Amino acid sequence: MKTFIPTVENSGREWVHVDAEGKTLGRLASAIADILRGKNKPTYTPHMDCGDFVIVTNADKIKVTGNKLKDKIYHWHSGYPGGHKQTNLEKLLNKHPERVLEKAVKGMLPHTKLGDALYRKLNVYTTADHPHAAQKPRTLELTAQGEMINGK
């Protein structure tokens, strides 16, 4: 018997829909990163992109615990002298709620070319509707602890 080596052709990619309403930011981002990498499949291979496409809706209704709304700071630099900028989680949630979840998931993916390819399979929307109905995504339910429960 030969060892099974997964390829892109036999990875069996699907589209998965996750509703973020009422979910905790970190636990949700961790579960999404696992789906993007394919860690929920028995054919998971660390050096390959064998994960699924993920659609996240209601990103503006995620919750955070503790004092993170005031204390969590996002930093970036414009590239010019004196161009260091920062904002807290509360302001970013009010202005661009989808970016909060995108940044959390991107930080949990590999920081390589593979991680960039995985990140491109993430689609985050602030409302309950999305333009990916033609892909027939299956709905995935997550528990309060971030564990996956297969849905419809």
So what's the pLDDT on residue 107? 97
What does the DSSP assignment read for 29-93?
HHHHHHHHHTTTSTT--TTS----EEEEE-GGG-B--TTHHHH-EEEEE-SSTT-EEEEEHHHHH
pLDDT in tens, the chain (152 residues): 888 888 877 778 999 999 999 999 999 999 999 999 999 988 888 999 999 999 999 999 999 999 999 999 999 999 999 999 999 999 999 999 999 999 999 999 999 999 999 999 999 999 999 999 999 999 998 876 667 776 55
So what's the pLDDT on residue 3? 86
Question: What are the backbone dihedrals phi and psi of residue 104, each rounded to the nearest 5 degrees, phi first?
Answer: -65, -45
So what's the pLDDT on residue 8? 77
